[in-house]
Amino acid sequence: MNSEDTASATPRMSVTLTVNGKDEHLTIDPRVTLLDALRDHLGLTGTKKGCDHGQCGACTVHVNGRRINSCLTLAVMHEGEDVTTIEGLGTPEHMHALQQAFVERDAFQCGYCTPGQICSAAAVIEEIEAGIPSHVTPDLGDVQFSDEEVRERMSGNLCRCAAYPNIIAAIRDVREGGKA
Amino acid sequence: MKSFTYERAETLEQAAGIVAANAEAKFIAGGTNLLDLMKLEIETPRHLVDINHLGLDRIEETEDGGLKIGALVRNTDLAADVRVRRDYAVLTRALVAGASGQLRNKATTAGNLLQRSRCPYFYDPSKPCNKRDPGSGCSALEGHSRTLAVVGTSDHCISQHPSDMAVALRALDARVNVMSARGGEKSLTLDEFYRLPGETPHIETVLQHGDLITGVTLPKPVKGVHFYRKVRDRASYAFALVSVAAVVDEDGREGRYAFGGIAPRPWTAGGEARAEGGASVIAARALDGARPTGENVFKLPLLERTLKAVLKDAAQTSGK
Ligand SMILES: Cc1cc2nc3c(=O)[nH]c(=O)nc-3n(C[C@H](O)[C@H](O)[C@H](O)COP(=O)(O)OP(=O)(O)OC[C@H]3O[C@@H](n4cnc5c(N)ncnc54)[C@H](O)[C@@H]3O)c2cc1C
Ligand code: SF4
Ligand code: FES
Ligand code: FES
């Protein structure tokens, strides 16, 4: 961002988002992405910034129940919408089944990609249940859970530490345990 | 990012009117391409008009048995629609071969058609690029061109069109519906909609500033075996080097074919999706007049072989 521009007065806008069940009123520059609104304005730093260009998935959150890259959308475009971040999926005291499974399966090393992986994985399990096809679905009319489906659907979440095998195992555990 | 103002449009006419009246205004749909480019200051609109709330998110049946897809239908929803999965599987296959689950949940039909070049120099403001900065030159001609186009190019630009969805739409003879800000609607084939680069590679379509895409119309389903075969550097989450969209007749003698990764717009053999013959005949017609670079000349045999693989799979599927 160019500093001159940052200083120039863009009229700020107000926007209300429901974040993890709580209404949040923000007055922000329209340039603020949903990712920066969450991290810098609401202090929800669980959602991570990797590339800031839709390439890594670290910023994955749910908006109105669907996973998206929060770096490639503006906060002001989400007036009145429901946002769920990793903090809303579960807490250290009440972990989401996927959070638990990631711990048990050692599905991370540095952990930077993990919030995005978990938010994405929660949606992947639902997308398969809903019958949304993927690139590896053999029969478009009959979508079944498989490791191959999970790998393909999780391809928008990169892990520099390459914890991929354990990530797949954790997702499989949750799906088999029916705890998603 | 350059500063801009933002507003949410309430009606189609209002949205088109605001953009038509302001040379620095742009529509924003999913935002996945526009915001990416705005962060790099390759796109610098000063006003954004949000078109996400205009009711353009429906898929409806047309009187002649086809489908009308709203401009704001998300790529995920289009791919998952039961009618599309059943009758236009090539389109579902192409959509799910593109981007990632998160991106497809945001990306829209119109935004996908209008996504801009993935040429490395288009993305690098320190290098000349006629598409980004008209008249500055084309860095790709003597530079890295492995991913770029081999046919339909000009001395001014050799970028390929990156969309997978558009290739399937071309095979299906889809039409793009446009509402003009000056009043009136038009319906265009993809060959009419996309311009070839010629001397003005920065002008990519025939849209006038303020023209709003309202949707895409598919003709009634065509019988046959549907395929979308995409060859890329990674198994997933990468743009096509070469792709083939095909609806092959049951007897395998004829089919409808369109090709991605090789041209500035979805490409066909001789300007028609419908073609007959084997892979070498069809590929040769599609590549007629090709001007590859040393780095991307591999796309010529790759296209033929990809088509050959598709036709082989089609024969096996029909034979079952
Ligand atoms: C990491 C990454 C990987 C990707 N991989 C692939 C891939 O493999 N294959 C592929 O095909 N795509 C891929 N994409 C591109 C993706 O498909 C596009 O970003 C997306 O389809 C754009 O849609 P959108 O709605 O977000 O467009 P926006 O960004 O909102 O808009 C794009 C342009 O269209 C204009 N526009 C939008 N709607 C209208 C309308 N109704 N009328 C007139 N103008 C309009 C906007 O003004 C803007 O100029 C990838 C993107 C990323 C970031
Ligand atoms: S090929 Fe086109 S997009 Fe790439 S540098 Fe040349 S003019 Fe720019
Ligand atoms: S930070 Fe959003 S995808 Fe990388
Ligand atoms: S655990 Fe380090 S990036 Fe994934």
Break chain A into its structural domains and give their ranges.
3-88, 97-177
Give how far Cα B164 sits from Cα of A85, A113, B203, B288, Å.
30, 28, 20, 22
Instruction: Report CB contact under 8 Å: B106, A68.
Output: yes
User: Could you please report the per-residue DSSP string of A47-81?
Assistant: S--SSSSSSS-TTEEEETTEEEEGGGSBGGGGTT-
- B281 burial via Cβ count (<10 Å: 0-12, 13-18, 19+): middle
Residue A165 has pLDDT above 70, yes or no: yes
Instruction: Please state the rounded mean pLDDT for residues A140-159.
Output: 97
Instruction: Please state the rounded mean pLDDT for residues A137-164.
Output: 97
Taking a C-beta distance cutoff of 8 angstroms, is the pair B84, B67 a contact?
yes
E strands, A33-175, are: 60-63, 66-69, 82-84
Amino acid at B286: A
Residue B34 Cβ contacting ligand 1 at under 6 Å:
yes
Q: What is the pLDDT of residues B107-125, one digit of tens each?
A: 999 999 999 999 999 999 9
Please tell me the predicted confidence (pLDDT) of residue A4.
44
Radius of gyration of chain A (CA): 17
Does this complex have an ipTM over 0.90? yes
Cβ contacts of B227 on chain A, cutoff 8 Å: none
Please tell me the predicted confidence (pLDDT) of residue B46.
98
The helix or strand, by DSSP H or E, that contains position A119, with its residue range, turns out to be helix A114-129
Please tell me the predicted confidence (pLDDT) of residue B317.
87
Order of strands across the sheet that contains B254-260: B225-231, B242-248, B254-260, B274-276
Which of B2, B4, B35, B226 to mutate to probe the A interface, most A CBs <10 Å?
B35
Give the residue, by CA position, lying nearest to ligand 1 atom 5. Answer: B99
Residue A24 — pLDDT band, cuts 50, 70, 90?
Answer: very high
- B299 burial via Cβ count (<10 Å: 0-12, 13-18, 19+): buried
Residue A178 — pLDDT band, cuts 50, 70, 90?
Answer: low
**Separation between Cα atoms, residue B17 and residue B268, nearest integer Å:** 35
Instruction: Report CB contact under 8 Å: B4, A30.
Output: yes
Give how far Cα A164 sits from Cα of A107, B140, B242, Å.
7, 36, 28
Range from A6-15, B96-105, B277-286 carrying the lowest mean pLDDT? A6-15
Three-class DSSP category at A19? strand
Chain A contact present for B86, CB below 8 A: yes
- Look-up: residue for tokens 């929800």? A44
The helix or strand, by DSSP H or E, that contains position B254, with its residue range, turns out to be strand B254-260
B221's tokens:
């389903």
Helices A164-177 and A114-129: crossing angle, nearest 10°? 40
Say yes or no: domain A3-88 is CATH 1.10.287.3510. Answer: no
State residue A99 phi and psi, 5-degree precision: -60, -45
Cβ neighbours of residue B142 closer than 8 Å, sequence gap 6 or more: none
Range from A75-79, B25-29, B165-169, B313-317 carrying the lowest mean pLDDT? B313-317
Q: What is the pLDDT of residues B157-211, one digit of tens each?
A: 999 999 999 999 999 999 999 999 888 999 999 999 999 999 999 999 999 999 9
Residue B148 CA: which ligand 2 atom is closest? 1
Instruction: Please state the rounded mean pLDDT for residues B306-310.
Output: 97
- Look-up: residue for tokens 């990156």? B162
Which residue in chain A has the smallest CA separation from B93? Answer: A135
As for ligand 4, residues whose beta carbon falls within 6 Å of it are: A 108-114, 159-161, 163
Q: What is the dotted CATH code of the domain comprising A97-177?
A: 1.10.150.120
User: Could you please report the per-residue DSSP string of B58-103?
Assistant: -EEE-TTS-EEEETT-BHHHHHH-HHHHHH-HHHHHHHHTSS-HHH
Please tell me the predicted confidence (pLDDT) of residue A1.
44
Residue B28 Cβ contacting ligand 1 at under 6 Å:
yes
Q: For chain B, give the mean pLDDT.
A: 97
State residue B129 phi and psi, 5-degree precision: -160, 115
Terminal C-alpha separation, chain B: 55
B126's tokens:
């320190």
Please tell me the predicted confidence (pLDDT) of residue A177.
86
Please tell me the predicted confidence (pLDDT) of residue A135.
98
Torsion-angle region of A65 (φ positive above 0: left; ψ -120 to 50: alpha; else: beta): left
Count Cβ neighbours within 10 Å for each residue of B213-240 and write b for 16 or more, e otherwise. Answer: bbbbbbeebbebbbbbbbbbeeebbbbb
**Nearest listed ligand to the Cα of residue A35:** 3
